Each structure stands twice: as structure tokens, then as C-alpha cells.
Structure 1
Amino acid sequence: MVTTIPVDPVAKPGLVLTAQVVLLSSSPLLTIALIGRMPVDAMHVRGLYQPVTFVLFAVVIGLGTTAQVATARAVGSGERQQVRGILTSLLRTGVLVSLGLTVACLCLVPFVDHRLLALIGAMTMTVPFSVAGELTSGALLGAGFTGVSTAVAAAHVVLHGAVVAVVGLGLGAGLVSLPIAAVVAGGMEFLAGALLLRRRGLLAGSAVSVSMRPLLLQVGLPSAGTLLVLFGVTLVLVVIVTPFGPAAITAVAVGAVVEELVLAPAFGFGIMMGSLMNRALAAGERERAWSVFRRGTALAAAAYAVLALAMLLVGQWLAPLVTSDPATSAAVEHCLGIVGPSLGAAGITVTMLTVVQQLGFGALPLLLNVLHYVTVLSVGAALIAHGSLAALYWTISLAAVVSAAAGVPLAWWITRRAVFRR
């Protein structure tokens, strides 16, 4: 007989975690809206910088996801004393990666505009602060404390936006406010998260590093790899649309941020499902893990059906909110009007593939993403050569629907095998 659990154990933490991820993902959109009130050249530089954000975000999310999964498994198996060592090891990795990115940035000096290079260099040096905050949040999520983690996330977004508004707009510092905001908000998130972990007894163990290499390769690297794929995709899209002018470049950048915001609930809900399933599997409760997956998938599908309808009806209204320039607003509206509704199909696919990733099968979602985007870019580039941005946008939209038709049943099959054949 199949053991089921009530909806609440899935829905309540899922909604809380989804709210947290939406809050975090809304930060870039809020930032772009604030930059849109700065001189037009600042928005253009931010648009060129957009691909780089995926590289930095890949580092943060790869390490944060690893912390979340490792903590969930440690708590589920009764080894809470390992959490401190897990975080110590991953923080050290984050600092080393940040140093590597800063050195790589120096190699770009002969090739990149000095304003863009200055922004990239400054942001790479803020990565340790972002990583530290994400690690403590990931540990709280893995241990099941989604409510307090969401409160910290809300404070992070508010503080980040406030610093950009005060320093960037109020004091006229412009893009200089971005690294300052990253340091202040990331530092606050780390301190608050560490305090919450300590009060809940999750930092009582040894600070000796725990070997995280297997889990980093199994979970962290594929999670980061997915965002690195998005880096390549966004970079290629910027190159493809460059002949259409700065407004088109900004439209692609804003479209990427909106996509990130709309798909944030998918990542959040998928992470929540994976966390609950990992804890259940660590305790030997296979039927409970499968019940979490079934109920969570049903909730995600219903939510994204509503979201797709909302994007169809009001998605284009986002354009005037992110820029006051009429040409740029028209370009953004054109992009979102075509691509926006298809994000509903992408959402359920991302939710299920995130679960697959959380269960340790990260290479498959990464491979599917690569195949998806190679196809989109190849077809889109060929069509846009005829002078139509709409052809590129329609290619992106239709590809999302086709990927859902193939990816959803595949993820269902893989998850069932993972749960019952461990």
C-alpha cells in the first residue's frame, strides 16, 4: 500500500521557498529598473554585462545547492554535526573560485570596454560575500528552516535595492553602486544566516572541512553548468542582436532577467521537493519521497498554467517598468510579448529537472539544456539573418514547448527509478 502525506508538508514549505527564490530573483529586475533611471549608457553597459551575471550566479548557486543537498542528507541521517564542516569546505572553495575569476578578468583588459571591464572586475571580487550568504541560506533550507531563510532573503533584496537606489541614484555613483550593494547585502545575509544556524544547533560540530568533491561533481557542478550554459546563450544572443542596436541588446538582457524571475519558482519548488525527498530517502522512506514528488509536480503544473496565462495577458506591461526610454521599452515589449507565455511550459520542465538534479543526476539536465539551446541558437541565428527579431523570439518560444513535451515524461521516469531502485 502506498503511503501518502498530506498536501501541506509539500505545499507549505514549497510556497515559502518559492517566495524566497522569487525574492532573490527579483533583485536583478529591481536593479535593472533602478539602472533604467540612470543615464542610457549605464543601461547599455548593464545589458552587455548580463551574460557575465550567469557566470557569477553559477558559482553562487553551484555551491549553495551543494550546501543545501549536503545539509539535507546530514540532517536526514542524524549527522547534524557535519554541517559546520560542510560550510567551511564550500566557503573555501568559493574564495578560490573568486580569485580565479578575478585573474581571468585581468586577461580581458585588451579586449573589453573599460567601463564594462571595471564592472566585471568589481563584481568578481564580491563573489565571496554572495557565496557566504548563499551557503548559510542553503544550509537553513536543507535543514528545513524555510521560513527564517525567506525572511533573510527578503532583507537581502530590500537592502540590495536600497543601496543601489541611495548610492547609485541618490549620490549619483551609477554602476559603482552594484558591487557595494553586493557586499553589503551578501555580508548581511551571511551574518544573519550564521546566527540562525547557530541558534538551531547546526554549527555545533567541528569546523574541520568535510570532503565535498563527490557532491560538488554530482550536484554542484551540474547546477553551475546549467547557468554557464545560460551565460553562453545570452552572450551569443547579444552578439546576434547587436546589428539591431542598443535597444535590442537591452531587450535580450531584460528578457533574460524576466526569464530568471519567472522560472525562479520552478527552481525553488524543485529544490524544496528535492530537499524533502533527500531527507525521506536518507531515512529509508521511499514511498514518502515518491508522494512528495507526485504532489509537488501537480502543484507546480497548476501554478505554471496560471503563470503562462498571466504572461500572455499582462507580460508586456513589464516593459515600461524597467526603462523610461521609449525605443528600449518597445523592444522589450516585443520580446516579452512572444517569449513570455512559453515560460509556463519551461517552468514545469525546470521544476522536474531540478528534482532530478537534486537527486544526484545533474549531468542529464545539463545535457538536455545544451541540446535545447544549441538548437535554439542555430535555428534562431539562421532565421534572424533575414532581418527579423520576431523569428528569433518565436524560435525560443516554440522550443520551450517542445522541450516540455519531451522533458517532463523523461524526468518523471528517471525520478521514479531513482526513488525505488536506490
Structure 2
Amino acid sequence: MGSGVVIVLAGGCLGLTAVLITMGRGLSEWPVALAFGFLIAVGEMVQFRVDRSRNRAPIATSAALGYAMLRGPSVDVPPEVAQVIAVTAVATLAGILPRAVAGLWWDVVVSCRRLISVACAAVVFAAVTSPSLSWNGTWQHALPLALAMLLSVLTAAGVDALVGAGQATEQDNRPFPAALRDELAVVGRIGMAMAIGGVLLAAGTSVLGLWAPPLVLVPLLLTQFAFRRYASAQRTYRTTVRSMARSTEIAGFSTPGQNARTASLAVALGNDLGLTPSRMEALEYAALLSGVGQLALADPSPGGASLLRSREERQRAAEIGASVIERSGVLDHVAEIVRHSNDPYRHGRANNSKIPVESGIVNVALAYEQLVGEGTGQSPEKAMESIGLGIGAEYDPVVVESLRRVVGRGFRF
């Protein structure tokens, strides 16, 4: 059973149980529940993909966290943990349904992860506070509430990071420590804004009642806008790189899909070696653009097999490609990877630690693709044998060992 299925089952059981409990006990402070449920649903409807694999819903997350941390004079009966989970679950479904009907991309695993993390935050907040605590203007109440909010949002962030790291370890074969590091980095950048929004919603509604959500909605919308602009810029960036990569295919210097296959293997190797997301992105771009310099050569390699060219030709093509990439002004690290992507390990990274390991990854990925890719006919075992003969001389031993693991797990183009 995959991690995604486990997360969905856990979230579904949690939500259903909470709904049944809430139905039995009755819904307290229904106008507040309706208002926060509406925010969560709207947040789900306007979610967006901020990276290649995960959707974000900052408004929904902030609203769910805020609802879990209500304590104040304007909320006579703070919501119980079960009610928090039930409102979040029902509102999430209400927000997802229009996206599903419209055929828009949505991810039930991400929504269930959010439900689980909010549930944990609600449990912690209820455990460290009492219903008598209120934002009544005294330090005796304000300080414990502030500390409880901090602990709750940290709990939500920690639980989501742990679940996400486990999911990445299973799906992408990333080392768990590296996956957890990446999840915590995302929390530090994006999660902080959502946590602040949740705290503002909780404190404002507790004191001002339902006048607060419209006021707090402005910074939440600004956060949503900023995230969407970032996501749009990333998509444009990726489209531009892929268009540049296709130029070698159009000109006949690489076979159709060769650059994409090389990039997919390079990404798998980067995942196995635990590279950071920013380095992974640069690695993928470098693998896609590794053949751009061949356009300066006189004739295409037969079948796109650049390994058939002389060492001098390949290194000259790599240098030309790096120079072309540098002219973009924003891909300097990518250019450096491409520049050394044809350096023999013995005369390159083995003696110069400044050469990025990503160059060795691209070198190995390109070699394996040209040995196993379409039209070559070599088996993965035969290709591994050929690459193994070059360990320590042509290829980085660390990268070749990573390739053995990736291929051993059944990697296929």
C-alpha cells in the first residue's frame, strides 16, 4: 500500500469520525463555523500548483488553523477538536468538488495532509489551553494563548513535514533526512506566511467576532497573489528551458525525447543523492540543455550519440553550451554544470572539488541514456557494465553507485 493511499485513508477516517461526533453533539457557534468553513472552501477552490508536484491553498490552511485556535470574548463556546476537524473536512470537500467538476487539477493527498496537520494542531491547542482562557486584554491570558498558538502551528508544520518527507522517501526514493530537510525548508518559506494568517484570524475573530475575517482576508489575498505570481514565473521559466532544449532535437543533433530522458534519469540520481530542491532544479535544467553546444558543431552525431565524438569535440560543445546559457543572465549555476559535464572524473572533480557533483550526474545520465535509450538495443545490465569500466576515470564513482541503486529499483525511461 502506497503512502498516498495511507494518507487518504487516515484523513478520510479522521474526517468521517469527526463529522459523526459533531453530528451527535451538535454544532456550536454555527455562524463562526460557517464563516471559517466558507474561507476553507474558497481557499480550496483557488488552490494552485507552486511546484511540480504539490498544490498550495494558503487561504484554506490559514482559515483551518485559525478556526482551531479560537479563544475569546466574541466566541462564547470555543470549537471542540472534533468540530474543528469536521468543519475542515466538510469545507475541504466543498472546495474540491467544483475543481473536480471543472476538470481542474487537484490532489486529495495534499488535502488529507492538511486535514491531519490541522487536527494535530487542534489537539495540541486544546491540550495546553482551557476554555476559560480568553483574549481579554490581560497578560495572564494573552501570554499563554500566544505560546499555545505558537506550539500549535509548529505542531502542524512538523507533522506535515514528517508526512511529506515519508511520502517523498517512498515516491522519489530520497533519503529521509534529505526529504525532511526539504520539507522544513518549504515550511520556513511558505508555511510561515500561512501560520501568521491563521494566528491573525484566530486572534482577530476571538476579539472582534466575524468583523475580523474580512479584515484579515486582505493580507491572505496578498499572500495568495504572491504565491501565484511565483508559481507562474516558475512555469514560464521551465517552459523556456524546455523550448531551448528542443532546439537540438529540431536540428537533428539529438533524437526526439533524448534530452527529456536524460533529465528524468538525472533527477532520479539527484533524488537518490539527496540534493536540495534548488540544486535539483539546476540539475534538471542542465541535463535538458546539456546538448545545446552541439549546435555549433559541423554535423549531428549519428542517432544523437555524442559519445561517438572525440573528447575535444565534446568538451568544446560543452563550453559553447555553457556560454550560451550564461547569456540568459539567470542560469549561471546551470552553465557551470554544463561546462564540466564532459570532463573525465580523473582529470576533473577528482582533483577539483569546486566542480559540482551535478556535472558528474549529467555525464553519467547522458552516457546511460545513449547506451539504453531508443534505438540502441542495449540492456540496462550491459550498459551498467560499460559504464562500470569507466569508474574513477571517466565517471564519478559516487554517481555510478547511485545509478546502480536507481536502475536496481527498476528505473525505466
TM-score normalised by L of structure 1:
0.32
Which of structures 1 and 2 has the bigger CA Rg? 2
Higher helix share: 1
Higher RCO (CA 8 Å, separation ≥ 6 residues): 1
Normalising by structure 2, what TM-score? 0.32
